[in-house]
């Protein structure tokens, strides 16, 4: 009755007849295929252009960030120099400050410290405020808790100054914090 071979032959004859009867259908299929391929190529080209633009933007941002924070290592090293100058000045006895021969030497150290602070300011390096403020774990590193009349968590002593380089932490302030009770 319905032999599978007969059905296959019948389908082939219909296809052959359709293609012969309607060449415009075959050309239409070819046109549709080419149009689809063109659209895919356009889509891929747009995607590639967008990806290239994104890579360019990322590289520019990375370059800007690298140049902005390139001095980080040098700045940390210079903070050690500043700390030594501070310590030197803090250990000068009052008698030496009154002595005229040593006074000019101390003035020279103080001038060097002011110039270093000026250079820091020009390069976006700022000292972090600490004493009397609540402990900020993003800027302060608590080294010790001490009994105090201040509110718990308030910085009551600064052991080492902290610094920011623009919007980044260069070095946290080492602080002592008030303890409750």
Mean confidence (pLDDT) of the chain = 87
Task: Specify whether 15 is located in the same domain as 81.
Answer: no
Domain range for 47: 4-66
- pLDDT at position 172 is 97
Q: How many CB atoms lie within 10 A of CB 133?
A: 15
- The domain that holds 156 is classified in CATH as 2.30.22.10
pLDDT of residue 2: 57
Q: What average pLDDT score do residues 66-87 get? A: 90
Same-domain status, 75 and 62: no
pLDDT tens for residues 91-112?
A: 988 888 888 888 888 999 999 9
Taking only the tens place, the pLDDT of each residue in 13-62 is 655 555 455 566 677 788 889 999 999 999 999 999 999 999 999 999 99
Are 118 and 129 contained in the same domain? Answer: yes
Count of domains for the chain: 2
């Amino acid at each position: 009755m319905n032999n599978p071979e007969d059905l296959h032959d019948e389908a082939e004859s219909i296809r052959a007849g359709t293609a012969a009867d309607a060449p415009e259908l075959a050309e239409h299929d070819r046109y549709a295929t080419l149009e689809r391929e063109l659209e895919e190529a356009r889509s891929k080209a747009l995607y590639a252009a967008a990806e290239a633009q994104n890579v360019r933007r990322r590289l520019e941002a990375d370059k800007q960030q690298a140049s902005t924070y390139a001095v980080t290592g040098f700045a940390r090293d210079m903070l050690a120099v500043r700390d030594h100058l501070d310590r030197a000045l803090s250990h000068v006895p009052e008698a030496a400050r009154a002595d005229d021969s040593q006074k000019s030497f101390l003035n020279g150290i103080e001038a060097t410290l002011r110039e270093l602070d000026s250079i820091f300011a020009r390069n976006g390096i700022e000292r972090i405020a600490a004493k009397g403020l609540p402990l900020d774990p993003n800027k302060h590193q608590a080294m010790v808790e001490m009994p105090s009349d201040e509110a718990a968590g308030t910085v009551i002593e600064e052991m080492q100054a902290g610094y920011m380089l623009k919007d980044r932490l260069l070095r946290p302030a080492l602080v002592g914090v008030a303890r409750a009770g």
